[in-house]
Every structure is written in C-alpha cells, then in structure tokens.
Chains A and B, each alone.
Chain A
Amino acid sequence: MDALAEGMPMEGCATYGAPARDVIEIGGLYKRFGAVTALDGVDLTIRAGEFVAIMGPSGSGKTTLLNILSCLDTPSEGRYLLDGIETATLDGKAQAVVRREKIGLVFQQFHLIPYLSAVENVMLAQHYHSVADRDEAMAALERVGLGPRAQHLPSQLSGGEQQRACIARALINEPAIVLADEPTGNLDEKNEELVMALFQQLHAEGRTLVLVTHNPELGARTQRIIRLNHGRVEA
C-alpha cells in the first residue's frame, strides 16, 4: 500500500476524492516524557479523504499523538511524513509554517480569542496564514450555519456555536488535514450531533479528518478506528 502511494505522482493529485495519496505516514514513532513512554512505536498511515477516529482509554496517548500530528510537538524517535514533508527535522519556524499551511485544529475547549468576534477569530487564522479577508471568513461561517452570529463574541455564543466557529477557523486555510481532539467533549447531545453531522459532511466533500474520541458511537460513524492502548496501536 505504501509502495503504491509513493509510486503515485504528486502532481495532478486532486485534494478531493483522490483514492490513495498518503496525507500522514508515520513509522516507528516514540514519544517519551521522562520515564513515561506516551507513544511506544506507532505506525500509521492516513490517506487523503479518509475520516479516521482515534480511540482508546484515558492516558493511552491519543492527545500526544495528535500533538505530534499537528506539529505542536516533536517525536522522541521515528518518522513522520505530513503531506510529503518530513517534519521531524523542522525547526520552530518551519513547524509554524507547516501548521498554518497544512493543519486545521479543532479543540475540546474551542480556544477562541475571547475579545474577538467569531468572524475575527476566523480572520486571525487567515492573518497568520497570509492575509485576513473578511468576506471569505464570513462565507466560512455561513457554511457552518453561523452567518447570523458572526459578529458575536465567543461569550455570547453557545458551546455548539463556538465549536462551529472553531471548525470554520480550522477549515479557512484549506488544510491538508483537520485534527480534532474530543471536539464534542464539552457539548450536549444535540450539539454533539450537529458537530458530528458537520464532520460527516466535510468528509463527504472530500476532506481528510482525524477525530479523537472516547465515544464508541461517534467512532462508529467514521470510516476507520485506530485504537491506542498504552501508546501502541492495537491490531
């Protein structure tokens, strides 16, 4: 499968609907925090357009893995190719560039800037990427159903609305992959359903999505579940 992916010409590979391009390719990945081995030899491939769930008990290394996938952290050992870029050797500045060019992040705690409106929060991601464009940011909020709430501060939005603003922000720079760590952990069932439906819609549009969750029902609605246990991928 790897050979097939590597053999594919990168040019002419459309983002959406391409069958076999590897967005993420991880081999022999270790992450140690002192005596604690959070990731213990992880091998993993995620292809363009896949919707993958990472599941596992608390402390199994899900967040650690996601941090490495999102270039917020570096592995102690191992190889990580993101959209064809070897990330292990990148310096801090290059990591920042990869984050803004390739990654869309969705957090359990939303992490919207409290004094910026929803649309300004989206524009901030544009700003660090290239340049803020209000019209484009507004369109992104409309797509997640937040058009009428775009001028509100996060404190004036419900949890579900904040999470949808966060998703709009994650998508605004057309990332190679969207990584979400327990995105519904702070939401009620109704909003959980709304966010999950949104993810499924994004998947249908051809986006590549990784969802960390401990909820088996949500996991079941993805294409593939990767189970972590004590820092290892279960067969």
Chain B
Amino acid sequence: MAVAEKPARRGRRGSMFATLLFKALLRRGGRAGVAAASIVVGAAVVAALMSLYLDISIKMSEELRAFGANFYVGPAVAGGERGIAEDTYAAVLREIPNDRMVGASPLLYGIVRLDLGPAVMAGVDFRGLRQISPYWQVEGSWVGVAFDERNAMIGRRLAESMELKVGDTVTVINRERTQNTRLIVKGIVDTGAAEDEQMFVNLSLAQKLLNLPGRVDFAMLSLIAQGPEADAMATRVNAGVPGVEAKPIRKISQSDGQILDKIEGLMALVALTILIITTLCVNATLSAMVAERTPEIGLQKALGAENRAIVSQFLAETALICVAAVAVGLILGFGLAQVLGQAVFNAWVTFRPAVVPLTLIVSLAAALIAAILPVRGAIGVVPARVLKGE
C-alpha cells in the first residue's frame, strides 16, 4: 500500500541470478579452481574405474554372445592345400574328451552370387554351430537336419539388402557360374557382428559350390576348459593331430572375468575413498568461500533475500563448478582407464557412454554433500552482525 504505482518491471527472472552466479564464481576464481581441481581428481578416478569395469564386463558378455566358442583349430602352416581336411577335423574331435565337449563346427568360407548380388557364404555344421552360438538371435528357425542342402540361414543385414524374408527362396550361384542351387531361407540371424552380413549353408553344399570337396578353413569349438586347462587341451591336440594348430581364444577370457570379480570390491573401495577425500576438499574450499563472502551474504539478506535464494545460489555455484570439473575429469579418467586396462587386462578400454551420467551423478552427489555444511553456514549468517559499521 505504501508502494506507489509505477510501471511494471521488465526483465527476466533468471538473468540477474546468472549474472550473480558467474560473477561471484569469477571473483573467487582461485577458490573455485581449487574446488574444481578436487572434483576433477575424484571424477577422473571414478570415471576410470567405472569405464574399466563397464567395458570389461560388456566385452566379456559380448564375446560370449558373439561366440560361445573358446577354441580355434586351423592349419598349422600357411600355403599348400587350403585349410584342413575334414578327416583331420574329425581326428581333432576324437582328441577331445566327450565330457569336455560342448559343441563344434567346421567353417568354410567363400564368395557366391545371390539373386541381387554377391555375398559371403559360410559352410557349417548347423547342429554344432547352434551349440557353440547359444546367444544368436534367430528369426524363423535353425536348420536342424544334418546334410540338409535345401535350407539356409542368412544374416540380418544381408537379408535386408537382398530383400529376403523367412520362407523366401534364394538362388545361389558359385563364382565360376558352374553350379547353382535354390535354397529356402529357414532363419534370419542377428548377432550384431560379422555374421549379420553372411549366409550359412551346410558344409557339404558349400564344398560343392566352392569346389573344395573334403576341406574346411578352420573349426571353432566350445570346450569346458579354462586357462591352463585349455592350454593343456591345445597342446594335446597339437601333439595328437599333425598339421593343425589348436589354440584357446582369449581376449577377455574367463580368467580376466575372475580378476574383475576379485578387484571389483577393491575398485569400489578406491572410488569411495577418493570420493570422500574429494568431498572433504570441496567442503573445506566452500567453507572458506562462504566465510569470505559473509558480508555479501549479510547484505543479500538485508536486501530481502530469503534463505532459499541464498541456498540456490550456492548450490548452483557448486553444481556449475562440478559440471565443468566432471567434463575435464571424464577426459582424464578415460586416459587413466587405458593405462589400467593395459596394465591389468592387456586390453584397450572402449568408451562407454553410460560412464558420463554415472560419473556426473556420483560427482554431483559428492559435491552437494560437501556443500551441506558451508550452505548451512551461509544460511546462519546474521546480517545485523556482519553489516555493523564502525
């Protein structure tokens, strides 16, 4: 009522808030920098450990998904006749104890022409392939019968480019155009990997089309054997069957998985320790910042700022420092993940986008926890006391 009528104010609610936010931060650049540096360190360690953990876990499951096979058998020497003989493959299988064998399939690759263009064709043993590829997603169904030369399976992307659906018929012609056969698409395969571009037919048919009777390029086996046991199995096959090279496939193998399981707790502990140290550092810095700004806060209150306004300003400043620091921390953390990945798993760590929000959330939580006491200090400022003259 005492306020005289005057024209309504023009201005945006947020703009003064933003001005105050940025200028206050710039003014305390040094302290803001110290707080940011602690958060960078915390975020980097968290991002590194999280990257490592996520990536190794994903790689392990991806490899399981892509290939249940953990054993490779191929020709010992290059040159000479292509691949290995089917009989040799049979001899390899005889070396493997029955109770260790999950499944096995020979593979023979070649280029063929389909109705709409060329494609990579793989000759396989469908029953064995199914056993070593438990994670393949198949639309339609697997080719079940052995020696089935009427049906084929085809990769998702190849099927799309050839405009083929389950139940369609496709004509397969060999490169020399001397052979052709009509096949029914029994199943469409989706693995997210190279198989999506390939076509799968029975080995005997592939041998005919490619004119390679009795040959296979190599074989993939799925064995119940890990680490040293798998190595022993390879030695036994190599000794027992001349002309082949058998080796366990191991990029990120089960043994790495065991390492991951073992250091999982350690990594969590390290991350937690670093986060606690970060929180303490940020807390100390913000407390000093609030102490320095006591007269300012007193003035803001005297001007009629409510506690809510003071709290949101400090939290926004903290969040801003934190977001900037996390951006830097993520980059450093990804570098650190490579060092750790090489040292522990002998593998490069792929960037996993999930690390970004996770690191941000964890760092923001740490920074906001660190801000609780300083912000309470800011709320506690008594303007009458700090604005006193004299």
Chain A contact residue count (CB 8 A cutoff): 55
* A194 proximity list for chain B (CB < 8 A): none
Which of B4, B12, B295, B303 is close to A128, meaning CB atoms less than 8 Å apart?
B303
A234 and B387 CA atoms in complex are apart in Å by: 27
Counting CB contacts under 8 A, is A50 at the interface?
no
Counting CB contacts under 8 A, is A25 at the interface?
no
- Minimal Cβ-Cβ distance residue in B for A120: B19
- Minimal Cβ-Cβ distance residue in B for A182: B389
Q: How far is the CB of A192 from chain B (nearest CB, A)?
A: 15
- Minimal Cβ-Cβ distance residue in A for B308: A93
Q: How far is the CB of B347 from chain A (nearest CB, A)?
A: 49
**Contact code string A86-104 (vs B, CB < 8 Å = 1, else 0):** 0000001100110111110
Counting CB contacts under 8 A, is A113 at the interface?
yes
Q: How far is the CB of A93 from chain B (nearest CB, A)?
A: 6
- Minimal Cβ-Cβ distance residue in B for A105: B302
| A131-B9, A174-B6, A181-B389 as given contacts; A115 in contact with B306, CB under 8 Å | no
Quick check: B389 and A63 within 8 Å, CB to CB? Answer: yes
Quick check: B390 and A108 within 8 Å, CB to CB? Answer: yes
- Minimal Cβ-Cβ distance residue in A for B390: A108
**Contact code string B23-67 (vs A, CB < 8 Å = 1, else 0):** 110110000000000000000000000000000000000000000
Quick check: B2 and A83 within 8 Å, CB to CB? Answer: yes
A16 and B6 CA atoms in complex are apart in Å by: 14
- Minimal Cβ-Cβ distance residue in B for A63: B388
* B350 proximity list for chain A (CB < 8 A): none
Counting CB contacts under 8 A, is B276 at the interface?
no
Counting CB contacts under 8 A, is B288 at the interface?
no
- Minimal Cβ-Cβ distance residue in B for A132: B16
- Minimal Cβ-Cβ distance residue in A for B13: A131
**Contact code string B274-311 (vs A, CB < 8 Å = 1, else 0):** 00000000000000000000011011111111110100
Q: How far is the CB of A17 from chain B (nearest CB, A)?
A: 12
Q: How far is the CB of B290 from chain A (nearest CB, A)?
A: 15
A107 and B295 CA atoms in complex are apart in Å by: 12
Q: How far is the CB of A128 from chain B (nearest CB, A)?
A: 5
Quick check: B304 and A176 within 8 Å, CB to CB? Answer: no
Which residues of A in the span 20-55 have a Cβ within 8 Å of any Cβ on B? Answer: 23, 48
Quick check: B300 and A128 within 8 Å, CB to CB? Answer: yes
Counting CB contacts under 8 A, is B193 at the interface?
no
Looking at A11, A13, A128, the one whose CB has the most chain B CB atoms below 10 A away is: A128
Which of B9, B13, B26, B299 is close to A113, meaning CB atoms less than 8 Å apart?
B299
| A67-B384, A107-B387, A132-B15 as given contacts; A99 in contact with B9, CB under 8 Å | no
A63 and B23 CA atoms in complex are apart in Å by: 32
Which of B9, B26, B301, B390 is close to A115, meaning CB atoms less than 8 Å apart?
B26
A residues contacting B by CB (< 8 A) are 10-11, 13, 15-16, 23, 48, 63, 67, 70, 72-73, 83-84, 92-93, 96-97, 99-103, 105, 107-109, 111, 113-116, 120, 123-136, 169, 173-176, 181-182, 185
Contacts A132-B15, A174-B2 supplied; 11 other A-B pairs, CB < 8 Å: A48-B2, A72-B301, A73-B384, A108-B390, A109-B387, A109-B389, A126-B11, A128-B309, A130-B9, A133-B10, A136-B9
27 pairs of residues in contact across A and B, judged by CB atoms under 8 Å: A16-B4, A23-B2, A63-B389, A73-B384, A83-B1, A92-B306, A96-B304, A97-B304, A97-B306, A99-B302, A101-B3, A101-B304, A103-B304, A107-B389, A108-B389, A109-B387, A111-B295, A111-B299, A115-B24, A123-B11, A123-B16, A124-B20, A124-B300, A128-B303, A132-B11, A173-B3, A185-B389
